[in-house]
Amino acid sequence: MNRMTTTPPAALPADHPLVAGLTADAPLLNQYRGGRDAAGRTAQPARRPVWFMRQAGRSLPEYRKLREGTSMLDSCLNPEMAAEITLQPVRRHDVDAAIFFSDIVIPLRLAGVGVEIKPGVGPVLDSPVRTLADVRALPEIDESAFAPIVEAVQRTTAGLAELSAEAGRDWTTPLIGFAGAPFTLAAYMVEGRPSKDHLAVRAMMKAQTETWNELAAWAARASGAFMRAQVLAGASAAQLFDSWAGSLSRADYLDYVAPFSQAALSHVADLKVPLIHFGTGTGQFLDAMRAAVEAALPDPAAGHPVLGVDYRLNLREVAESLGKGANGRNTPLQGNIDPALLFGDWATLEAHVRQVVAEGGAAGGHVVNLGHGVPPDTDPSVLTRVVELIHSIHP
């Protein structure tokens, strides 16, 4: 197979899939770059790219079988298991990206903070972080703690290369690294468990601003280091998830959250991989989320910021309202099939998918995804059929 070897960004190792040319011209990265090849030339992707948030996990019977008897966080820190779980949906669905199987609270565990994922509940901390003393007692993550993450990523990228070679493709399916945004990670830390209204963390922002600033800065360092470890180990893009930012007003997002998201992203911005920022219920400040990515980049005019869009919004309207970014081009978008329609009849779902694809054409590039994660009781065959449909629509 002929692969283009690109000039490597200084910080990426020579055997990185991007540097070696394995993933450089994958359809996913073509669209993240705004319809450009690795050399920056306008080019059509080999096929229309699609992947699904939470594609690795509970919807797959092979995942449930593999995970039997192993806790969520222990499975994330078992390199062989984490790699296999990451590969399962690529093998089954033929999606155009693997999303690293882990959890946003893994940096807490690696730092030595007591946290568990309780079935039916979610992340639960041994002790919530509520005071300035609590924040200043938080340990920093030693780089050596990322060893199981690095090994898992390396196993995954090797597996992706094998799968792509077996399929006879000229590109290797890229791995996307990820982390939780500082607000979402800090929200779990302050509340001590999942919350619908995030009252405690919203109160801390304004009533204990110094405490909030120090906690958010700690979370930015933890999430940023987590993403950086994944990218250096072989991930070809990175996504920052802000699952709970939709609980905030625009003003509060700008004042108390955006600077720390920028700080987290700055940990990987110099590596010159596409950066995706996604949040749910964040339509009122998508422009600010893009600005946070751009502000993190050493050269915003040369960067590749991508926005994930949830199912509540129309992609064409988002593209038109955002306009051109700092690089002078329309921003690539990712999304935004409504997960609810995975449970409807095929005719309704197909029409919806085709509409999403059509609306995404207004963006600077478009990677099809769900407008949120795969629900755990989704029929996997429906996802496979959606992928086949999307690949059948000419780019």
Q: Is 67 a catalytic residue?
A: yes
Give the pLDDT score at 10: 53
The DSSP-derived string for 79-116 is HHHHHHHHHHHHHHH--S-EE----TTHHHHHHT--EE
314 class by beta-carbon count within 10 Å (0-12 exposed, 13-18 middle, 19+ buried): middle
270 is in an annotated binding site: no
Give the pLDDT score at 1: 34
Given 48, 63, 92, 103, the catalytic residue: 103
Q: Is 290 a catalytic residue?
A: no
103 is in an annotated binding site: yes
What is the per-residue pLDDT across 287-317, written as a single tens digit (0 to 9) for each? 999 999 999 999 998 888 999 999 999 999 9
Strand partners, 337: 370
Structure tokens at 80: 């062989």
Q: Is 250 a catalytic residue?
A: no
188 is in an annotated binding site: yes
Domain boundaries, the chain: 27-392
pLDDT per residue, tens digit, the chain (395 aa), is: 333 334 444 589 999 999 999 999 999 999 999 999 999 999 999 999 999 999 999 999 999 999 999 999 999 999 999 999 999 999 999 999 999 999 999 999 999 999 999 988 999 999 999 999 999 999 999 999 999 999 999 999 999 999 999 999 999 999 999 999 999 999 999 999 988 888 999 999 999 999 999 999 999 999 999 999 999 999 999 999 999 999 999 999 999 999 999 999 999 999 999 999 999 999 999 999 999 999 999 999 888 899 999 999 999 999 999 999 999 999 999 999 999 999 999 999 999 999 999 999 999 999 999 999 999 999 999 999 999 999 999 98
63 is in an annotated binding site: no
- As a whole number of angstroms, the distance between CA 342 and CA 382 comes to 7
Q: Is 188 a catalytic residue?
A: yes
The DSSP-derived string for 210-251 is HHHHHHHHHHHHHHHHHHHHHHHHT-SEEEEEETTGGGS-HH
47 is in an annotated binding site: no
DSSP one-letter code for 119: T
Give the pLDDT score at 208: 97
Give the pLDDT score at 197: 83
What is the per-residue pLDDT across 101-140, written as a single tens digit (0 to 9) for each? 999 999 999 999 999 999 889 999 999 999 999 999 999 9
Q: Is 3 a catalytic residue?
A: no
Give the pLDDT score at 196: 80
55 is in an annotated binding site: yes
**Residues sharing a CB contact under 8 Å with residue 219, sequence separation 6 or more, in sequence order:** 182, 183, 185, 186, 189, 260, 264
Question: Closest Cα partner for 26 from 99, 18, 239, 178?
Answer: 18
Given 3, 37, 47, 58, the catalytic residue: 58
Given 54, 130, 228, 290, the catalytic residue: 54
How far are the Cα atoms of 68, 132, 204, 375, 392 from residue 214, in angstroms, in the given order? 39, 8, 11, 35, 49
Give the pLDDT score at 120: 85
Give the pLDDT score at 349: 98
Strand partners, 177: 238
Give the CATH architecture of domain 27-392.
Alpha-Beta Barrel (3.20)
57 is in an annotated binding site: yes
